[in-house]
A and B are shown apart, each in its own frame.
Chain A
Amino acid sequence: MKIHEYQARQIFRNYGIPVPSDVLCYTVREVEKAAVEIGGMVVVKAQVLTGGRGKAGGVKLARNVEEAINAGKQILGMTIKGLTVEKVIVTRAADIEKEFYIGFVNDRNTKTVTLMASAEGGVEIEEVAKNNPEKIIKYPVNPLTGLLNYQARNIALQLFGNINQAQKAASILTKLYKLFIETDATLAEINPLILTTDGDVQAIDGKMNFDDNALYRQPAILAMREPDEEEIQEIAAHEKGLSYIKLDGNIGCMVNGAGLAMATMDMIKLYGGSPANFLDIGGSSNPQKVIDAMNILLSDKNVKSVMINIFGGITRCDDVARGLLKALEIIITDVPIVVRLSGTNAEEGLAILKETGLPTVSSMSEAAKKAIELSKR
């Protein structure tokens, strides 16, 4: 789960990380009011759940109220990576001496929370990682001890030559680690962390992602969720025990199992078609799941045919076929469907479906070819 920058800034403040105050604005009128109140130079920043806001023109420096109003007009309503900007924050422009990057991530390889720090702040860290990997300090934190003070201080000293400044940065590192653990984050980054012209160390931007598997024990984080249209659909599917991701193609897929569902999408592509979605219905023969899944699939008006791909394991194909029959009695649609059943009791399952006149096949590739052919009718 992702949150907005303004929400990350609030979490940072709750943990005592110095972050300049900001005002959340939904209208140009509110931007003007905020700029007047703050006075002097301000920054207007788009609040959308994607990176690369600066590059897209979603972050603007304004020297006075008039410029702030203009920035508000330009940014509110603009589209960044397909997302419409509905709100901005206005914050005092900082006097920046130097910019740094600090962040924590869960690292799959070391199986630790890993601290990343770089004196190359203010640019996308992925760029630094690609072009100058030696400029990123990576430190795997021992999960049994957590990030210790001396470790944070020594890393901060590598970025800040000055011990006073390093102490301030170390305190921020320690707090960021604490909040990372306590909120079940998967990413917590400050980019840039700045050294101000008067020697202060502050966070002027923040990004946080959270572990979906841990949201059950993070009610305060869950309350911050602001899903976009696509995510609302994904969450609704999830509540029905389905895993759904919409894609751009026209062949709907319904599959049991995530790996097989990905392989099904790939196969449709391999044979020249285009998948409309990823959809994993899990391992049950419950007709209600099939009905829910079909309703979600068919709500996408681009779908011209549907490929149902089931490999029967412990859930037997004849049970799946009976579930499908029940579901298909209820769902009325013109969209052609091809069913592939394989695995346990596949023959019995296919025999049950034969009577319905649905095209049924036993191999994945046949099913993909058939679904593509049907989509072109």
Chain B
Amino acid sequence: MSILVNKDTKLVVQGITGRDGKFHTGRMVEYGTNVVAGVSPGKEGETVEGIPVFNSVEHAVKATGANTSIIFVPAPFAADAILEASEAGIKLVVAISEGVPVQDMIRVTPILKQNGTLLIGPNCPGLITPGEALIGILPTMIFKEGNIGFISRSGTLTYEVVNLLTLSDFGQTTVVGIGGDPVAGLYFIDLLEMFENDPATIAVVLIGEIGGDAEEQAARFIAEKMTKPVVAFIAGQTAPPGKRMGHAGAIISSGAGTAAEKIAAFNKAGVPVAKEPAEIPVLLRQKLDGVI
């Protein structure tokens, strides 16, 4: 078991003929993801990595039954691509595009809700259910099938920590990079709930960072609703206020969104917070053994 994606996922790649779209389509196919279609207006009839290309998501869905989409189009066109997928009946959209204006995401949100479309991203590395499906740009060799759920706002920090987990023999059910933007799709609470309900997941690792208060909300949710253990890490303890730390959403504004507040919230909720990435597998082991 897993959440969101598995071997039954039928993926359409929006922006499949672009450099990144093409490259990552090849990687996803190689991993065994069921990539059924690509979209690139004006290129219907062509193939990329053996995958048929269509002019629209609607055509792709009709011809192939695609139910999940991944978006590689440039940021100015990302909102349009997300809505196109949603209106075509796609149930899960994963937006990799970086640099999407916040207003675009705000306008997209209520329409996705209306259509019942789930969104991950934008500005995210995507997600992977090891051994079943890669929907994203994550480096596959570090993952291993197992029973740990994983949610993170970061890219390479995710890889760093997943690698440590795998080396400590903690495989993963599903690893989700939710992205570094202030207004994004599925967030900590949504995914914590899915992992709580996934029988295969026995514990969750959560990687947060400065900016916003999603970690505080996650801490409350864990304390009130979750039975499965969670271990956390928060990046940005040394970040100065008022500066955007690479990710658009990683900013301490008006003194709010600091790492210290988030760590305090997790501690209060009984969630151990690692001081450094290498401590995460250690805490996870202790939590699962009931030592802490």
Contact status B182-A275, CB under 8 Å: no
In the bound complex, residues from chain A placing their C-beta under 8 Å from that of B139 are 312-314, 343-344
Contact status B99-A213, CB under 8 Å: yes
Smallest Cβ distance from A4 to chain B, in angstroms?
16
* Count, A-B residue pairs, CB within 8 A: 168
In the bound complex, residues from chain B placing their C-beta under 8 Å from that of A313 are 138-139, 142, 155-156, 159
Q: Given the complex of chains A and B, what is the CA–CA distance between A140 and B128 in angstroms? A: 34
Smallest Cβ distance from A155 to chain B, in angstroms?
19
A261 to B, closest residue via Cβ: B246
Residue in B27, B246, B256 whose CB lies within 8 Å of A280: B246
Q: Counting CB contacts under 8 A, is A186 at the interface?
A: yes
Smallest Cβ distance from B156 to chain A, in angstroms?
3
Mark contacts of B223-237 with chain A using CB atoms, 8 A cut-off: 1 yes-contact digit, 0 otherwise.
Answer: 000000000010111
Q: Counting CB contacts under 8 A, is A101 at the interface?
A: no
Q: Counting CB contacts under 8 A, is B268 at the interface?
A: no
Q: Counting CB contacts under 8 A, is B158 at the interface?
A: yes
Contact status A214-B154, CB under 8 Å: no
Q: Counting CB contacts under 8 A, is B43 at the interface?
A: no
Q: Counting CB contacts under 8 A, is B240 at the interface?
A: yes
Residue in B110, B209, B248, B255 whose CB lies within 8 Å of A213: B248
Chain A interface residue count, Cβ-Cβ cutoff 8 angstroms: 51
Most buried by B among A267, A314, A342: A314
Q: Counting CB contacts under 8 A, is B278 at the interface?
A: yes
Contact status A342-B245, CB under 8 Å: no
Q: Counting CB contacts under 8 A, is B176 at the interface?
A: no
Most buried by A among B103, B155, B213: B103
In the bound complex, residues from chain B placing their C-beta under 8 Å from that of A256 are 156
Q: Counting CB contacts under 8 A, is A375 at the interface?
A: no
Contact status B278-A363, CB under 8 Å: yes
In the bound complex, residues from chain A placing their C-beta under 8 Å from that of B244 are 212
Q: Given the complex of chains A and B, what is the CA–CA distance between A307 and B138 in angstroms? A: 24
Residue in A106, A245, A266 whose CB lies within 8 Å of B237: A266
Q: Counting CB contacts under 8 A, is B163 at the interface?
A: yes
A266 to B, closest residue via Cβ: B237
Contact status A266-B110, CB under 8 Å: no
In the bound complex, residues from chain B placing their C-beta under 8 Å from that of A257 are 154-157, 246
Supposing A184-B101, A262-B239, A278-B245 touch, asked if A106 and B142 sit within 8 A by C-beta, the answer is no
A-B contact pairs, 10 of them (CB 8 A): A217-B76, A257-B246, A258-B154, A258-B155, A259-B155, A263-B157, A311-B160, A313-B156, A343-B160, A344-B141
Residues of B within 8 A of A (CB): 27, 75-76, 99-103, 105-107, 109-111, 137-139, 141-142, 152-160, 163, 180, 182-183, 207, 209-210, 212-214, 217, 233, 235-240, 243-250, 254-256, 259, 275-278
Residues of A within 8 A of B (CB): 106, 108-109, 111-113, 126, 142-144, 181, 184, 186, 211-214, 216-217, 243, 245, 247, 255-263, 265-270, 275, 278, 280, 283, 311-314, 342-344, 363-365
A-B complex: 8 closest residue pairs judged by Cβ atoms = A259-B154, A258-B246, A257-B156, A259-B157, A313-B139, A214-B101, A262-B235, A260-B156
